Amino acid sequence: MRRDALTVVLISPRNPLNIGAAARALSNFGFDDLRVVNPYEKAFHEAVSAVGGAAVLRAARSFDSVAEAVADCHTVVGTTAIGNRHLEHPLHGLEAAGGLIRGAPGKTALLFGSEKFGLSREDIAHCHWLTRIPTGDQTPSMNLGQAVAVTLYELIRDPGQPLPAPDRRKPVSGSDAEQLTVMLLDVLEASGYTNRIVATSTGRKVRQFVRRMALTARDAPLLLGILRQILWKIRQGG
């Protein structure tokens, strides 16, 4: 696959050694875009010596939120060790995920959760779908650096098989999806909808809903225009 079409995002990694190991895996398989959201150790760049991954580690960027980290990505894929917890998201085995990611237009972000807790429900709300490494039931959870290595290997290995025809419509970018989310939340609040249900879960639900809609880049301005108009109308009338 095109090596600049993938970014690896580590969310709240606790152990700088694992960030280094992830950087090395990227370098091993020819990728270079590593992003970190809220690492436990801010100075992870300098602290860790990643044999063979030093350049990737030095260039790694730190973000305060998942939304910012995936803003320029068109597809967001979450990795999980647990198969059936998140029924609202499509779940693909890693073998199938490899084909889907290789065929995806634009840039794809691969999200890895923290060593201890994996991805949170809030993190997963940013995802279009999830993938799972086929580990056994006895020890499903992998070491972070090893999980990154296995996933990237699946992406670059010779697939040998004809791929399903990719969907050529350009999906909405991460920043557009987030802008839509925020504006829809504004509309929900202005219309009095948000008050009716628990407010904290609304953000997550709406975020997930917007990703699930499979919007194209063409849909974004249309929908933003609609929401802007609704907001204007409600505020004018209220």
Q: Are 170 and 105 in contact, with CB atoms under 8 Å apart?
A: yes
Q: Does residue 187 touch a copy of itself according to CB under 8 A?
A: yes
Interacting residue with a copy of itself among 24, 107, 126, 207 (CB under 8 A):
24
Question: Which residues face 183 on adjacent strands?
Answer: none
Apex CA 207: angle with CA 229 and CA 135, to 5°? 160
Q: Does residue 198 touch a copy of itself according to CB under 8 A?
A: no
Apex CA 35: angle with CA 99 and CA 183, to 5°? 85
Apex CA 156: angle with CA 36 and CA 50, to 5°? 40
Interacting residue with a copy of itself among 39, 99, 118, 171 (CB under 8 A):
99
d(CA 206, CA 212): 10
Q: How far is the CB of 14 from a copy of itself (least distance, A)?
A: 12
Interacting residue with a copy of itself among 8, 10, 11, 29 (CB under 8 A):
29
Q: Does residue 85 touch a copy of itself according to CB under 8 A?
A: no
Return the H-helix or E-strand segment holding 36: strand 34-37
Q: Does residue 214 touch a copy of itself according to CB under 8 A?
A: yes
Q: Does residue 145 touch a copy of itself according to CB under 8 A?
A: yes
Candidates 25-33, 35-43, 66-74, 170-178; binding stretch for a copy of itself (CB under 8 A): 25-33
Q: How far is the CB of 68 from a copy of itself (least distance, A)?
A: 25
**Judged by CB, which is closer to a copy of itself: 25, or 69?**
25
> Which positions from 148 through 167 interact with a copy of itself, judged by CB under 8 A?
149-150, 153-154, 156-165, 167
- Whose CA is closest to 34, among 17, 1, 56? 56
How many CB atoms sit inside 10 A of residue 237's CB?
Answer: 7
Q: Does residue 234 touch a copy of itself according to CB under 8 A?
A: yes
Site string for a copy of itself, 105-144 (x = CB under 8 A): ----------------------------xxxx-xxxxxx-
Distance in Å from the first CA to the final CA of the chain:
52
d(CA 204, CA 206): 6
